[in-house]
Amino acid sequence: MNRTLIALIGAGLMTTACTTTGNVERNAAGGAALGAVAGAVIGNNSGDGDAGSGAAVGAVVGGTIGAIKGCREDGGCGASAPIKRQYYDETAGRYYYYDQAQGRYFWEDGRPRD
């Protein structure tokens, strides 16, 4: 029982990293919860019938997968960069784009457009 409690607390602590969107934390917590339930069911119905160990393993695996999914939603962890729609400023004679993550406009070379 102590191993299960330690594993669940450890999985919970892994989800406390800070991000600006919260996708990593939200998906890690959801993944850990779903993984713990699935692991408990599988652990109870197979092997020596230890639902606690199955829940601990499921929580860790589910939390890790959820955190990676959230990180990819934020554009990190190897996710491909989102396509940026470009606009043309006739007055300046150059292209600019809108970055949804920052809520700002930038010139094609990356400098802020004022």
Alpha-carbon span 17 to 51, nearest angstrom = 28
pLDDT tens-digit readout, 8-41: 666 665 555 555 567 777 888 888 888 888 888 8
Distance of CA 99 to the CA centre of its chain: 20
Q: What is the mean pLDDT of each run of 10 residues along the chain (114 residues)?
A: 68 56 77 83 80 83 84 69 77 88 85 88
Reported pTM: 0.52
What pLDDT score does 56 carry? 84
Q: Which two tokens stand for residue 19?
A: 């991000």
Instruction: Give Cα separations from 48 to 6, 58, 60 (angstroms).
Output: 20, 16, 20
- CB distance 42 to 56 below 8 Å: no
